[in-house]
């Protein structure tokens, strides 16, 4: 049996769209077959009549009257729906929903809101990054390309165009910058200071800036120029522009340049530019043998040494006594002295290789520095030092700095290896990185046997980072990990554990 209930509110006007929304809500209530709220015009009454919603009270309504028509399974359901409708008609609604705010979709619209902006950070899939970067350049903006997989030819064209326009193109493949104290993309919160950094290596820039910050000094600017900037093809266009900028910046007293070894032609060009500067310069080309340098320049072989030179000799982690810390530690019986490195940071991986090679060890890596061999040519007792952020591990997956799970498989393999002696790890925190990488790692190490490999790590980041360096260190130490103050010292700890630290 169905019940038709009408209520007429004389002279009550509500916009038809609001009424349609209300109708839909009331019609959706339990026990309601159909419902409509409409102004009582002849056309509307006809619609309601056809929908079998009109009874005598509704039929008598006029154009300025609001008619509520309800058809329900029972009188009780109809009355409840009517009461609900009447209540909704009279209660006020929250005015503005803050979740509905508009966000610009295009550079053009964003610049209307922020006309004084002078930098665009591009983070779109690599195939589209160059097009977006070009738009930004042509609107007079400096550009930081966070995207990777940007074709080399596009990078060259963009950097040339940027140079002609006097605009810096930072990145791609090195998503790090700290400009005027603002950390961009993968970066750490560091104090302002006198040291200007230029990096073709993202984690290298993060390690050096964090080490400087943790020892109490600060950064004027940190400029990530892109992983391929010092290649022969690109020729250091962004590096040279960044050098000009820091040279001209009165806040910058000393300059540090961090990169993999540049192409020799490019290295010459860089050295010539350094010679023309009045400021002291530290060059850190991880894995490079030697270089003829001008008087104002010094070469650092590790990131730690680069930070120390920039700090004018102040030592990093001076209170950390490697011998004392490792005196009581022994590689469990039956295990070899072999070291496995599982790195999220590419440059941190390279720095570890340099230190292990210097100690005379045989090192193999998927990203070998000069002197190390390719993984395919590893021998039984080779240390395998892996860059897990390299393309072959991250294709179709996030970078291990963002998602530490990417390292889980490799870590499980290492823990299950019955002969492995030491596992060497890095942990990179800061903006863009995972919210709690140490917590994730600690959970993965929780139920390992006592006679497993020893684990050594360092945390790249600062106390001011969202993850708090000390909290991350504490979580690792709680999981039985020996944590060194720097990545270089972590490698040295590993060497001490294998008996080769001198």
Find the shortest distance in angstroms from Cβ 112 to other proteins.
8
In the complex with other proteins, which residue's Cβ is closer, 43 or 329?
Answer: 43
Please identify which residue in 91, 97, 114, 116 interacts with other proteins, judged by CB under 8 A: 97
Find the shortest distance in angstroms from Cβ 113 to other proteins.
10
Please identify which residue in 13, 46, 152, 181 interacts with other proteins, judged by CB under 8 A: 46
Pairwise CA distance, residues 178 & 172, whole Å: 15
- Output the CA torsion 447→451→456→457 (10° steps): -10
Which three-class secondary structure state does DSSP give residue 426? Answer: strand
Find the shortest distance in angstroms from Cβ 322 to other proteins.
55
Find the shortest distance in angstroms from Cβ 13 to other proteins.
11
Which residue in 215, 284, 174, 209 sits closest to 461, CA to CA? 209
- Contact between 106 and other proteins (CB under 8 A)? yes
CA 142 and chain centroid, separation: 20
DSSP 8-state class, residue 430: S
In the complex with other proteins, which residue's Cβ is closer, 25 or 500?
Answer: 25
Contact between residue 185 and residue 177 where contact means Cβ atoms under 8 Å apart: yes
Find the shortest distance in angstroms from Cβ 260 to other proteins.
36
Find the shortest distance in angstroms from Cβ 111 to other proteins.
11
- Contact between 15 and other proteins (CB under 8 A)? yes
Which three-class secondary structure state does DSSP give residue 382? Answer: coil
Bridge partners, residue 386, by sequence: 342
Contact between residue 8 and residue 60 where contact means Cβ atoms under 8 Å apart: yes
Please identify which residue in 11, 30, 98, 334 interacts with other proteins, judged by CB under 8 A: 98
In the complex with other proteins, which residue's Cβ is closer, 101 or 334?
Answer: 101
The strand ranges marked E within 225-359 are 254-259, 281-285, 297-299, 339-343
DSSP H helix total and E strand total for the chain: 18, 20
Please identify which residue in 5, 32, 53, 267 interacts with other proteins, judged by CB under 8 A: 53
In the complex with other proteins, which residue's Cβ is closer, 20 or 127?
Answer: 20
Contact between residue 51 and residue 89 where contact means Cβ atoms under 8 Å apart: no
Find the shortest distance in angstroms from Cβ 313 to other proteins.
53
In the complex with other proteins, which residue's Cβ is closer, 108 or 419?
Answer: 108
Residues that bind other proteins (CB under 8 A): 15, 17-18, 20-21, 23-24, 27, 34-36, 41, 43, 46-48, 50-53, 63, 69, 95-98, 100-102, 104-106, 108-109
């Amino acid at each position: 049996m169905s019940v038709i209930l009408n209520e007429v509110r004389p002279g009550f006007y509500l916009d038809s769209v609001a009424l349609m929304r209300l109708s839909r809500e009331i019609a959706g209530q339990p026990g309601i077959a159909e419902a409509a709220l409409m102004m009582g015009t002849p056309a509307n009454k006809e619609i309601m009549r056809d929908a079998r919603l009109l009874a005598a009270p509704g039929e008598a309504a006029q154009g300025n009257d609001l008619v509520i028509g309800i058809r329900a399974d029972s009188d009780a359901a109809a009355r409840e729906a009517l009461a609900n409708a009447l209540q909704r008609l009279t209660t006020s609604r929250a005015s503005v929903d803050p979740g509905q705010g508009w966000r610009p979709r295009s550079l053009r619209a964003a610049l209307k809101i922020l006309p004084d902006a002078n930098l665009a950070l591009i983070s779109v899939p690599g195939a589209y990054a160059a097009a977006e970067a070009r738009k930004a350049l042509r609107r007079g903006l400096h550009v930081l390309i966070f995207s990777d997989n940007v074709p080399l030819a596009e990078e060259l064209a963009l950097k040339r165009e940027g140079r002609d326009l006097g605009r810096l193109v930072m990145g791609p493949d090195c998503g790090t910058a700290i400009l005027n104290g603002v950390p961009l993309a993968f970066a750490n919160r560091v104090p302002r200071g006198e040291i200007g950094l230029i990096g073709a290596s993202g984690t290298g820039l993060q390690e050096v800036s964090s080490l400087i910050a943790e020892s109490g000094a600060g950064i004027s600017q940190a400029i990530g120029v892109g992983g391929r900037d010092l290649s022969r093809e690109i020729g250091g266009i962004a590096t040279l522009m960044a050098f000009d900028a820091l040279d001209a910046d009165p806040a910058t007293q000393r300059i540090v340049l961090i990169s993999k070894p540049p192409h020799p032609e490019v290295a010459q060009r860089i050295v010539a530019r350094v010679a023309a500067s009045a400021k002291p310069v530290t060059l850190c080309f991880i894995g490079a043998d030697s270089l003829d340098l001008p008087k104002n320049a010094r070469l650092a072989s590790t990131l730690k040494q680069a930070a120390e030179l920039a700090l004018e000799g102040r030592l990093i982690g001076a209170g950390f006594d490697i011998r004392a810390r490792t005196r009581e530690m022994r590689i469990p019986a039956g295990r070899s002295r072999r070291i496995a490195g599982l790195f999220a940071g590419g440059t941190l991986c390279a720095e570890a290789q340099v230190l292990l090679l210097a100690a005379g060890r045989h090192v193999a890596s998927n990203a070998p520095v000069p002197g190390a061999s390719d993984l395919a040519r590893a021998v039984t007792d080779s240390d395998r030092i892996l860059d897990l952020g390299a393309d072959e591990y991250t294709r179709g997956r996030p970078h291990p700095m963002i998602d530490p799970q990417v390292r889980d498989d490799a870590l499980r393999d290492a823990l299950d290896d019955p002969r492995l002696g030491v596992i060497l790890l890095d942990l990179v925190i800061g903006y863009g990185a995972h919210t709690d990488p140490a917590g994730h790692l600690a959970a993965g190490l929780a139920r390992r046997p006592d006679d497993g490999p020893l684990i050594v790590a360092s945390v790249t980041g600062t106390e001011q980072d969202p993850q708090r360096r000390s909290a991350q260190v504490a979580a690792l130490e709680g999981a039985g990990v020996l944590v060194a103050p720097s990545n270089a010292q972590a490698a040295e700890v590993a060497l001490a554990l294998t008996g080769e630290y001198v």
